[in-house]
Chains A and B, each alone.
Chain A
Amino acid sequence: MLRNAIRRAGAATLTLALAASPALAGVDQVKLRLPLRPKLPLRGNERIALAPFILVSDPEKAKDKRLANIDVQAEFHRFLKKQLEKKTKFDVIETPPDVKLPTQNLSDLARAQEFWAAVGTQTSAELIVSGSLEFRVEDRSGYKSEEYTSPIDGRQYTRQVYVEQTGYVFDIVFLVLDGRTGEKLLQDEFKDFRQTGSKQRDELTGLFENLFSLENQILNTFVPRDREAERYIFTD
């Protein structure tokens, strides 16, 4: 009786010991959170002015009726202001409505030191954000190969099917300018492409999907962020 109990206990212990064993032989994937330093070394409480952006559009695509009801400039400004107010300690202001960009050329805009210094004086901003915005809706519909099993003979065949897809592209060039000197401190580009499986998707939803996926990168210009990374560790 006692011998049986000990035998059973031994078996149970072995099972438990194996289960408690910290690692089985081989390799495991682990997740880490890695810090991302801000691209601009700032104090964190600067007064920052959001100036207008250049709207980039292809003359052909400018006629795109799907974009007629979207004010890309206003939507982007609202998004950027909200994110900066929520996730940083900056004093965020918008430039007065009478501030008009001196040029529609991005390179010239980045070099317009006197103009930016004047905007800085007018708004008392230490930093000014401007740049260019391009939002496009692309029709990606077309024929694609697909495998299917025939209900008649049960064999696999390849067939062509028409798939409706829409792509949303948002290309943002960010200019950060010194409000005191008007000098360009940083120029950076953020680009995102989203594809949906339907043609009926709303363009504004597409625009915000682009923006939310770029949120981390945009904020990382000013404040530290982090990102998830995967690494391999050996278990024995």
Chain B
Amino acid sequence: MKLKRTVLLLLVVAGACTSYAHPEKASTQIAFGTYVAKKGLWREAAFRFEEAVQKAPDNARAHNNLAVALEASGDFARALAEYKKALDIEPSNNYIRRNYARFAEFYTAYTKTTGKASGAP
């Protein structure tokens, strides 16, 4: 009975670890980045997507994900650059195009200064 339980426990632990067993692969970094992004851990997600981009510089999906994570972390200038890279690689990808369009709309409004106040710092 004890042996059975030990074997089961070892197999469960090993199984759970296999999900991210190849950190050298861009896909592993993307998968883990996505996992943490969904939990709202955007800085960790940005780090993972950055790793993915370094491992696969021509992967438009990795650039897109990095752009989203940078946007969520407030680094808009870099997010813009990453969206552009993603679109350069895969110009016909509708998801990337939609993300870029929405981001561009937000970023234009964000950077626009519409007023001035004499007492402002």
Stretch at the interface among A9-17, A57-65, A94-102: A9-17
B117 contacts A178, C-beta separation under 8 Å:
yes
List 7 additional contacts besides A35-B74, A41-B121; criterion CB under 8 Å. Answer: A10-B11, A13-B14, A39-B114, A185-B116, A232-B95, A234-B34, A235-B31
Taking the closest CB of chain B, its distance from the CB of A164, in whole angstroms, is 36
**Taking the complex as formed, is A233 at the interface, i.e. its CB lies under 8 A from any CB of chain B?**
yes
**B residues touching A (Cβ–Cβ < 8 Å)?**
3-4, 7-8, 11-12, 14-16, 18-20, 27, 30-32, 34-35, 37-38, 42, 61-62, 64-65, 68, 71-72, 74, 95-96, 98-99, 102-103, 106, 109-110, 113-121
**Taking the complex as formed, is A229 at the interface, i.e. its CB lies under 8 A from any CB of chain B?**
yes
**Taking the complex as formed, is A74 at the interface, i.e. its CB lies under 8 A from any CB of chain B?**
no
Binary B-proximity of A193-236 (CB < 8 A = 1, otherwise 0): 00000000000000000000000000000000000011111111
Q: List 20 A-B contacts (CB under 8 A).
A: A6-B7, A21-B19, A23-B31, A23-B35, A34-B110, A35-B74, A37-B110, A39-B114, A41-B117, A41-B120, A41-B121, A43-B120, A176-B115, A178-B117, A186-B115, A232-B95, A233-B64, A233-B65, A234-B64, A235-B30
Complex Cα distance, B74 from A30, in Å, reads 16
**Chain A count of residues within 8 A CB distance of the other chain:** 47
B115 contacts A233, C-beta separation under 8 Å:
no
